[in-house]
Amino acid sequence: MRFLAIGECMAELAPTAAQGDYHLGFAGDTFNTAWYLARIRPDIAVAYFTAVGTDTISQKMREAFSQSGIDDRHVQALPDRTVGLYLISLDNGERSFSYWRGQSAARQLAQDPQALSQAMGDADLVYFSGITLAILDAASRETLLKALRNARAVGKTIAFDPNLRPSLWSEPSLMIDTIMQGAAVSDIVLPSFEDEARWYQDADPTATADRYVSAGATTVVVKNGPDPVHYIQDGVTGTVPVPLLSSIVDTTAAGDSFNAAIMAGLEGGTPLPDCILNACRMAGQVVQGKGALVPLDPGFLDQ
């Protein structure tokens, strides 16, 4: 199986134990999912589609892709741009984020329809998110949605996490409409209920799943923090309880890792409720570690 994630990876500066020192890393929702998928399924060819610059930090990001087992052949290098950056601040254990991504190269990732169709042609499963859509201008969004529609029409599977981030959109109504367009080109939709309830007034996770089925998805898995995961697959619905955890360290990338486990399981023909249980166990490990990219327990990887 060949997997392609489309989106923005950013440089991350995270505080270290030494006052005033920061560690440079790389993270971003679709990249995190690719990273976890490459960890748990080394047999899957994992590729990332984005745009970076040609400067040293962009080069380091590409090296990070390769070192993580992620193919960078579809990464475009734009000479006059660089990658986005965010810095994590800690105040009494509370994390807050400052972003510099307004001019990032990734905002131009979907300007070349040829590059998109070629990359999707090399994949069986294509994954993108609401953040991927949010960072693009209107014309690029159309180009990306059209390429995804075409890929689906020739038998590729399209997976989408709405990942609602109102701060990335000029106005909420644009986010609300565009996310539904993303869902309309997708087979698998992987939303988080808390965000969905707020922006779509869904009364419960069933309403979220039904809305995405109406948009055209065949499989919807609704994450809901520690509460049961609701799913619908080809008209069959159910819920899977989330195993209880004694401590939560940092919920960054919980949903991203969860999505990787769902796609890994579905690809292997695992029944969806079992995929969900595995995804909860994986996300359960991720929330008990710091940062987006948490090393997984070898016992988990061996399964």
Binding site for ligand AMP (CB under 6 A): 192, 223-226, 229, 242, 245, 248, 251, 254-255, 258, 280, 283-284, 287
- The CB-of-165 to ligand AMP minimum distance in angstroms stands at 13
Q: For ligand AMP, which is the closer residue by CB, 123 or 264?
A: 264
**Distance of closest approach, residue 205 Cβ to ligand AMP, in angstroms:** 10
Q: Shortest Cβ distance from residue 231 to ligand AMP (Å)?
A: 11
Nearer Cβ to ligand AMP (149/165): 165
Count of all residues that appear for the chain in the document: 303
Q: How far is Cα of residue 144 from the mean position of the Cα atoms in its chain?
A: 16
Opening angle at CA 266, ends 265 and 269, nearest 5: 90
Q: Report in angstroms how near the CB of residue 251 gets to ligand AMP at its nearest.
A: 5
User: Whose Cβ is closer to ligand AMP: residue 102's or residue 295's?
Assistant: 295
Decide: 243 and 250 in contact? Cβ < 8 Å: no
Nearer to ligand AMP, 106 or 229 (CB): 229
Catalytic residue among 21, 187, 256, 302: 256
- Is 122 known to be catalytic? no
Nearer to ligand AMP, 78 or 280 (CB): 280
CB of 18 to ligand AMP, least distance (A): 30
Provide the minimum distance between the beta carbon of 172 and ligand AMP in the complex, in angstroms, as a whole number: 20
Q: How far apart are the first and last CA of the chain?
A: 19
Which burial class, exposed, middle or buried, applies to 80 when counting CB atoms under 10 A from its CB (0-12, 13-18, 19+)? exposed
Residue 133 or 287: the one with the smaller Cβ distance to ligand AMP is: 287
- Residues annotated as catalytic are 256
